[in-house]
Structure 1
Amino acid sequence: MKKLKLFAFPYAGASSMYYYKWKKHVTDEIDFVPVELAGRGTRSRDPLYRTFDEVVNDVYRQIAHLIDDGPYSFFGHSMGSLLAFELAHKLRENGRHEPNAMFLSGRWAPHIARTDLVNPSTPDEQLKERLLELGGTSPELFENPQLADTFIPILKADFYAMESYEYANDRQPLSAIFNVMTGVQDWDVNKRDLAEWGNHTTGPFSLHKFKGGHFYLNDSFDTVIQHINRSLLNTVQ
């Protein structure tokens, strides 16, 4: 039997390196595949995205050949959740089978129009304060001018790309298992907006809360990994 692949998509400004420590903890029965976005990590020379469609199309080209007749699932945090959702639709529209499961983390449902977590036109100093407030960025990063000068343009480009996102309301729901995840102290993403993800699948839906804020993935790392392992193994039994 083929291993189930788990593709992981990063949040705005992040690279696939964020998920590297996961490799030692995701069960050996899962083929874990962190996906790199343009302009960072091993793709630092590739131009940054201008629109969200560019993000989706780029990642589609990266993974389409990796999806065969075997089972696969998506994990995305924040921007990565939106990417996972749109990518699943694109795969279906191109005649490919859907993911078995979708882990949608730290993001409200895609049909909800609201102000995003970060305004990319914010002056850099205020932007740094907002990022530190969200908790996903080490203060040490901003103490290194070279790192900060590399990171901030990537982050802004990602949020500008998300500003171009337009939800298409004429599509049928997906059929994947939707496993929605959030931090109990993530005040920017409320339970009602998370529950709205249930409207986008005909498959099973569940909502799970973990200790921590928007970046509860760091605060509750062990619990999160256990939850993902358990959930994925249940989908292939």
Structure 2
Amino acid sequence: MTILRNNFGCVCRLSRKSSGPVRQQLVVFPHAGGGVSFYQHWRDVLADDIDLFIVQYPGREESQRTEGWTNAKQAIDASTRDLQASLGIAPIVIFGHSMGALLALHVASALRSSRFQSNTVLSSQHRPTDLLYLEQEAECQRLLDNILAYSESSGSLVLDEFTRPAVSKLILQDLKLLGHLARLAVPDLKLRILGGDCDPLVSQSALYQWENTVPGCQIELMPGDHFYFRQDEAAFLRQLIA
């Protein structure tokens, strides 16, 4: 069945023609350096009556000419505005992976004040207070080096002398934004926290620290590393939107 793609500012909506109404909506906030292309194949796995929305950060893919977000408010406002323009009335699951987790958290809070009700799922990320070090340029660079080393060794990224500088610039841009997001107060939301049980970037103990920030949050460990969901994406998506 044909996939329909519509762009609403920084939001890409991927849907299928169906004779019935949309049953559910899945909103994805990608990891640092990530974009629509990394997650768009989820459309092939999801049922026809589920719409997929992927937030496209500035400076990559079809948004290459768009200037990057320079602060948390700009990122939250742009994502919230474009999701309000594109979402329908069906129940929503908001999924933020790695860097995208904190942006997803604050956009979910902003959407709550409008007509939208959603379940919020944060994936493979430290609690905000453990990310304040990213306000320091040297620490952003150190984490960037760790991400690149892990991504290349795991096969998540294949870089050469031409692509490495561009990808590094995008990831560094996203990490600086993550540092800004970490300074914001954590909104009062019911959260699911997911992560891999052998993630070299976010340990199990780091995930469980969320319990001290958001009492009552649901923490779930899954087999795998930082991109644990790639092991069996069909099974993961069924669990995510259940």
The answer to whether residue 177 in structure 2 is matched with residue 155 in structure 1 is no
The answer to whether residue 225 in structure 2 is matched with residue 213 in structure 1 is yes
Alignment correspondent of 2:12: none
1:35, 1:15 → 2: CA distance? Answer: 7
**1:4 Cα deviation after fit:** 0.8
Alignment correspondent of 2:235: 226
Is residue 136–residue 215 contact of structure 1 (8 Å, CA) maintained in 2? no
Matches within 5 A, 1:74-113: 74-93=94-113, 95-99=114-118, 101-113=119-131
RMSD between aligned alpha carbons?
2.8
Alignment correspondent of 1:56: 76
Matches within 5 A, 1:41-190: 41-93=61-113, 95-99=114-118, 101-113=119-131, 115=133, 119-122=139-142, 127-128=144-145, 130-133=147-150, 138=156, 140-141=158-159, 143=160, 145-165=161-181, 166-168=183-185, 171=187, 173-175=188-190, 178-190=191-203
Q: Go from structure 1 to structure 2 and tell me whether the alpha carbon gap of 1:137 and 1:60 turns closer, same or farther (over 3 Å shift).
A: farther
Structure showing the higher strand proportion among its residues: 2
Encode CA deviations 1:106-135: one digit per residue, 9 max, x unaligned. Answer: 01233545545x93345xxx9446422355
Q: Go from structure 1 to structure 2 and tell me whether the alpha carbon gap of 1:231 and 1:213 turns closer, same or farther (over 3 Å shift).
A: closer
Segments of 4+ moved more than 6 angstroms: none
Q: Go from structure 1 to structure 2 and tell me whether the alpha carbon gap of 1:82 and 1:139 turns closer, same or farther (over 3 Å shift).
A: closer
Letter in 2 for 1:16: V
**1:81 Cα deviation after fit:** 1.0
**1:201 Cα deviation after fit:** 7.7
2:215, 2:237 → 1: CA distance? Answer: 19
1:74, 1:14 → 2: CA distance? Answer: 16
2:110, 2:167 → 1: CA distance? Answer: 29
TM-score (norm 1): 0.77
Is residue 174–residue 201 contact of structure 1 (8 Å, CA) maintained in 2? no
Is residue 3–residue 30 contact of structure 1 (8 Å, CA) maintained in 2? yes
Q: Which has the higher contact order (CA 8 A, sep 6+)?
A: 1
User: Which moved further from structure 2: 35-44 or 145-154?
Assistant: 145-154
Q: Go from structure 1 to structure 2 and tell me whether the alpha carbon gap of 1:121 and 1:197 turns closer, same or farther (over 3 Å shift).
A: closer
1:231, 1:157 → 2: CA distance? Answer: 28
Q: Go from structure 1 to structure 2 and tell me whether the alpha carbon gap of 1:84 and 1:138 turns closer, same or farther (over 3 Å shift).
A: closer
TM-score (norm 2): 0.76
1:193, 1:120 → 2: CA distance? Answer: 18
**1:31 Cα deviation after fit:** 1.1
**1:69 Cα deviation after fit:** 3.1
Q: Among the aligned pairs, what percent are the same residue? A: 23
1:212, 1:231 → 2: CA distance? Answer: 16
Q: Which residues of structure 1 form unaligned runs of 5+?
A: none
Is residue 132–residue 139 contact of structure 1 (8 Å, CA) maintained in 2? no
User: Which moved further from structure 2: 21-30 or 155-164?
Assistant: 21-30
Encode CA deviations 1:134-187: one digit per residue, 9 max, x unaligned. Answer: 55665631x2x3322221111111111222221215x5x224xx3321111114
SS of aligned partner of 1:131: helix
Q: Which residues of structure 2 form unaligned runs of 5+?
A: 1-20
1:25, 1:3 → 2: CA distance? Answer: 15
Encode CA deviations 1:179-206: one digit per residue, 9 max, x unaligned. Answer: 321111114423344235455487xx43
